[in-house]
Structure 1
Amino acid sequence: MAGFEKLKKMIQSALKQSAEESSMLLNQELTVNDTEVKEFDKTAYLNDLEDSAFVVPVDSREDYPGQLHMVFSLRDAILMSGILLGIPPGRISEKRKLLILEADDIDAFSEIANQIIGTFNSVFQPLLPEKFHLKQLPPSKFVPQVDEVTDSLPVPDEEYLVYKAQIRLGGDDLNRFDILVPFSLARCIDPQEAAPEPQNDEPAIHDQAESLRRLFPSDAEGKGASGFSGGGAVLILEDDLEEREAVKGFLTANGFTIHASGLGADMKEFFSMDEIQAVVLGMKKADEWELSLCSKIKELSGNSQLPIIACACQWTRTGIFKALKNGAKDIIMKPYEQNELLGKLGKFLAAA
């Protein structure tokens, strides 16, 4: 697929280096061929997942917030952990056949995964302008048709760039090693606008409105997501009374139930009396306090997946990073453009 070429090269470089280090760890040659990149949502990816998997969530921290996932074939994970533990080949074959994954196997494979993640940190950081750090989270196995699929397991319900690595261990092809990067994180690491680095925190891109539309597209122009016909409770937080009433008016006319107030409002009241399905956060400066409201909204709502559309008259690259880090799902420019906002809300509410 086109786009995100920088990210693909970074991942390919990190994979090749980690293969060399894993070869030393396992005392067997491990090689990585060119990486294929595909786009999947969660449903499509699980349909592609034909065999049992070992899923390693990886937290991306500092200035590139998000979470990626490394997905290995469960049989491959049992093989590599068995080699690291010095388990006899016959016993490894038996465990792979029966999908036996013991506590020692999980610990051993977590060590292998942690080595890969450490290599990614060392490769990525020199190539990125801001602080970058990956940290492994507790892994889990997933057996299709057996283990339950939830909102967060085996992976969150997002759209992903999936980097499918072709790996060989000791001359034999392994089954699966995928790296799932959500588009929100991919855009942070590899913005798709050829723009100079901002000086003195000036706007990161010249025509911000158009650039942000490309970075954060709606599913359909002016009509929301396909199959969505309006409706749902939306909270508008906007200090400018005229803008607030204008947004309230056109959203109400399109079938939404609207709650509206200024940024300093007691938001507990709104979340206690209705099931808010999305929040439009209108900011004046997109400063630290205004951006921190994204985290506060998530906390008060009790819904970590609540879509927050952050809106401001001007955005800096740093501001975009902080908005996403604090929990915003989408970024748009003010003044509010009716079709654009309807498209954003339609996309999120249709997916809910």
Structure 2
Amino acid sequence: MSEPLLSVADLVTEFDTQDGLVRAVDHVSFDVGHGEVVAVVGESGSGKSVTMMSLMGLLSGAGRVVHGRAVFDGRDLLDMTDDELRRIRGDELSIIFQDPLTSLNPVITVGDQIAEAVLTHRDVSRQEALDRATELLTAVGVAGAEQRVNQYPHEFSGGMRQRVMIAIAIANRPKLLIADEPTTALDVTVQAQVLELLAKTQQDLGSSTIFITHDLGVVAEMADRVVVMYAGRVVETGLVHDIFREPRHPYTRGLLASRPGLEGGDRLPAIPGQAPSLLAMPTGCTFHPRCDQSHGRAPCWETEPALRVIDENRASRCHYHEELAHDPAGESAAEGRR
């Protein structure tokens, strides 16, 4: 088996806050293969975006990586200097942020913003970079790119701004593209168009993709593998069809069950409670206060479960993952996606 393009091992990220030290990413590990799409899912605050910001070297001043490795194409991103990261960020490694309105500079034309990504990493003239910007706008489906390249972000709709962000991210044909909830706040029609564009881009470039989302419908359509995060930790990993057919963690099963089915009708089940404060984590399994499987069993609230390997493609952080295999409730959860 070939080496993965990206291998993250035991990543730990902490933030200093007025209320104390917060561990936002807690020993997170996952791999991304060449040409593979890996979805990272979980509720808001589960650590998805902070994990990616840690890899990209884009943490705020209060955040820092305190442990781990992130080997990208043979080089550890966490050992790189700021200058070394800047050389590959936007070139070999790119990110699409979830809010293009705040990510794009409102007083610079979209053409100049795309051209900047080219000029930073390629020895070309400004005119060549602007020509490339026009080509990229055309490639991402912006009609009249020759004229629109001279317009400003406020002159674009939300969906079109997201296309501009994608154009910037793919300007230098990256090996790995990180898409951080790129369809947030878009209507369903535009969302479908953006997802189709991302799938085509990944296929055309042959790049790998990390897709951060809370929408399991998107996961089913886009991803090869899934990493489920809860309270800063990975609680389950596996191939998409395995995760959807037979979830082996109660949290994953709850996420699947909460998806509306095509038939509509009955009230959707919900996971009770809310994710814990990272300043006051529960003892034992972090999910046990909301879990429908713990039933007061001592291991759940006394002992933190390890991420147990089930087979070469599956792992679960649950004391009772074997009981969930072929569980009718789990099968019902999987049905909820259809």
Q: Normalising to structure 1: TM-score of the pair?
A: 0.29
Larger Rg: 1
Q: Normalising to structure 2: TM-score of the pair?
A: 0.30
Higher helix share: 1
